[in-house]
Structure 1
Amino acid sequence: MATVEHQHREEALAEDQGHRRRDFINIAAVSFAGVGAAAVIVPVISQMNPSADVLALATSEVDLSAIKPGQAIKTIYRKQPLFVRHLTPQEIAAVNAVPTGSLRDPQTLAERTKPGKQEWLVTMGVCTHLGCVPLGAGEGENRGPFGGYFCPCHGSAYDAAARIRQGPAPKNLEVPDYVFRSDTKIEVGAKA
Structure 2
Amino acid sequence: MAHTADQPTTRRDFLYIATAAFGAVGAAAAVWPLIDQMNPDKSVLALSSTEVNISAVPPGQQIVVKWRGKPVFILHRTPEQIAAVEKEDWRNLRDPQPDAERVKRQQWLVIIGICTHLGCVPNRESDGSGWLCPCHGSVYDNSGRRTAGPAPLNMAVPPYKFESDTTVLIG
Q: How many residues align?
A: 165
Q: Counterparts of 2:121 and 2:87 in 1: how far apart (Å)?
A: 27
Of the three residues 116, 119, 124, the one matched with 1:128 is 116
Distance 1:107 1:158 in 2: 13
Work out whether residues 144 and 157 of structure 1, in 8 Å CA contact, stay in contact via their aligned partners in 2.
no
* 3-state SS, counterpart of residue 75 of structure 1: strand
Q: Does 1:109 align with 2:99?
A: yes
> Could you say which residue in structure 2 is the equivalent of 1:61?
51
- Partner residue, 2:145: 163
Give how far 1:25 is off.
3.7
Q: Deviations over 1:28-64 (max 9, x none)?
A: 3322331232123321221122211111112111111
In structure 1, the residue corresponding to 2:74 is in which secondary structure?
Answer: strand
Matched, 1:34 2:24: yes
Supply the distance in 1 between the matched residues of 2:157 and 2:119 (Cα, whole angstroms): 15
Find the residue that maps to 1:122 and give its secondary structure: strand
Q: In the alignment, residue 188 of structure 1 is paired with which amino acid?
A: I
- Judged with a 3 Å threshold, the aligned counterparts in structure 2 of structure 1 residues 23 and 154 are, in CA distance, closer, same or farther, namely farther
5+ long unaligned stretches in structure 2: 1-6
State the match for 2:3 in structure 1.
none
| 2:79 is the alignment partner of 1:97 | no
User: Structure 1-normalised TM-score?
Assistant: 0.78
Q: Higher helix proportion, which one?
A: 1
Query: CA RMSD, aligned part only?
Result: 2.1
Amino acid at match of 2:71: P
Secondary structure of 1:182 counterpart: coil
Tell me the percent identity. Answer: 52
The one-letter code sitting in structure 2 at the alignment partner of 1:95 is V
TM-score normalised by L of structure 2: 0.87
Give how far 1:130 is off.
2.1
Structure 1 residue ranges without an equivalent (≥5): 1-15, 137-142
